[in-house]
A and B are shown apart, each in its own frame.
Chain A
């Protein structure tokens, strides 16, 4: 106990990923040394194109990687100062670290309310507390309350995304790994989802690590961002400075020196730059 208190709590980040390398099926190298940190109470974005390694990074942290025959072969992952590369996903959920998977993954044949209740599976603090948290989730997502008796498979994409986030909230998390919340949603809904992320962060003190392709939206709500390309972090910085960075503007926001650029030009420029690098 004494040794633990000696560690300065404020200085240690909530989550620290140190140079992890991930290999799938013993042969496919997907992450080539990714490092990032999330401070307590922070919202951090991981940005990058399809196949850059965002999802793999999140799954390496939540330990869902193992079920896909992926393995962290180098580096370490620390959550609240403890190494977690050997923990099980359910152990991590119990300790307050939960992932909301890309593509929502609601339980289609369960009702919305049953979906939410599965999120409380690891909790041992009694039915009353769980019921209270269910009300809290309904307060954040009034739409879910209206649809509580509907089978999740028949609800809309936005409702499913809310259900997935609400389900994670039911585990009473300290940190949520949110994978591609904007996927397949209308811009207005994306905004609504990020607004709720923002509120959860401020009001409930939940920290977020958000993987997004929607760079613009993610950088508006995150305080810090990392950009992944081909399994490597190629750039990082506070969200504001990333938004002003000319390369980020060029590649990810589609804005050139002289304002909005044609998509074709962006691609062309980017391809050439890769070859030169």
Chain B
């Protein structure tokens, strides 16, 4: 085995696993964009909001003497319900009054939602950094010790995150492809007027996608919160989902996942092999955006974005 391969794989795997977290946020964007054509700037804030609700409700329950396991289950149910309630509120108070407005107006509205959720969430749940522990092991483990000297260092939490993301994507894919509602969601994504003409009520569909995006945000928030602690910066990191979307395509669920992996691995590898030797490090923070820019020039619909079917 060549000597450089061990460290390389370690960086690569670390990057891929970090990328999964970007994927999870990007996934929420894609769901809403597909079904309503709205670029939901608030997805990052929703991740923070869900994570705050989860960590704080578990804390409160435990302070009432509920045992840890039960508190986590109830905490999840509570925050899930809260995200669904948020979906109803957004549909009722924002999407419905703005129906048929330009995309840019809806985009601006979601920026408004972002500030509201940020402020409101911290108002009721507090603005400190909270430790989230739902029993996912966080030990670092060594893989392939027989093959490489010293093995490859991997955080167990990241492996859990990968498995969760995989399951989530599988579940969503089945939901979209096999169920009546999923089919309706794809129909709305294709042509919302035609969807309306066959009797699919757009309002219900919006509530459903925002609720699903809320649940995805809860999953992302849980994993991120476990890794970094629940704090305001989570909403900021969520912006990394933007280059992921540009890379993977705004309309593709697999694109969001693979885009996230590429960005995650790319920025870690760039940091180690380009940043540290030549620039004193720190390129990790902007590498993803540069990659996205290059992609915009070459392939603006992204790797997996839906091709516009045009018959001549």
Contact = CB atoms under 8 A, between A and B. Distances in A.
B199 interface: yes
18 contacts: A68-B100, A90-B196, A93-B199, A94-B199, A98-B197, A99-B197, A101-B193, A107-B186, A107-B194, A108-B190, A110-B186, A110-B187, A114-B186, A117-B180, A118-B184, A118-B187, A121-B198, A153-B309
A130 to B, nearest CB: 9
Contacts of B306: 109
B185 to A, nearest CB: 10
Nearest to B199: A93
A119 B197 CA distance: 9
The CB with the most chain B CB atoms within 10 A, among A93, A106, A110, A118, is that of: A118
A121 B186 contact: no
Contacts of A106: 191, 194
A69 B100 CA distance: 8
Contacts of A121: 180, 184, 198-200
Nearest to A88: B201
Interface in B171-230: 180, 183-184, 186-187, 189-191, 193-201
A185 B197 CA distance: 22
Interface of B: 99-100, 180, 183-184, 186-187, 189-191, 193-201, 306, 309, 311
Given A121-B198, A151-B309, A154-B311, 7 more contacts: A67-B193, A68-B100, A90-B196, A108-B190, A109-B189, A110-B186, A110-B190
Contacts, number: 87
Interface residues of A, number: 35
Q: Which of A108, A117, A167 has the most CB of B within 10 A?
A: A108
Contacts of A168: 198
Nearest to A108: B309
B232 to A, nearest CB: 39
B195 A118 contact: yes
B281 to A, nearest CB: 44
Nearest to A118: B187
B251 to A, nearest CB: 9
A190 interface: no
Nearest to A59: B197
Nearest to B201: A90
Interface of A: 62, 64, 67-69, 88-90, 92-94, 98-101, 105-110, 114-115, 117-119, 121-122, 151, 153-154, 157, 167-168, 171
Nearest to A168: B198
Q: Which 8 A-B pairs have the closest CB atoms?
A: A93-B199, A153-B309, A105-B194, A122-B199, A107-B190, A90-B199, A90-B201, A118-B187
A94 B309 CA distance: 31
A100 B199 CA distance: 11
Contact of A98 (B184, B193, B199): B199
B309 A118 contact: no
B31 to A, nearest CB: 16
A88 B197 CA distance: 10
For A101, A107, A122, the residue with the greatest tally of chain B CB atoms inside 10 Å of its CB is A107
A89 B199 contact: yes
A118 B195 CA distance: 8
Contacts of B198: 93, 98, 118-119, 121-122, 167-168, 171
Contact of A105 (B100, B189, B193, B199): B193
A167 B190 CA distance: 15
Give the residue among B189, B190, B198, B309 with the most A Cβ atoms within 10 A.
B198
Contacts of B191: 105-108
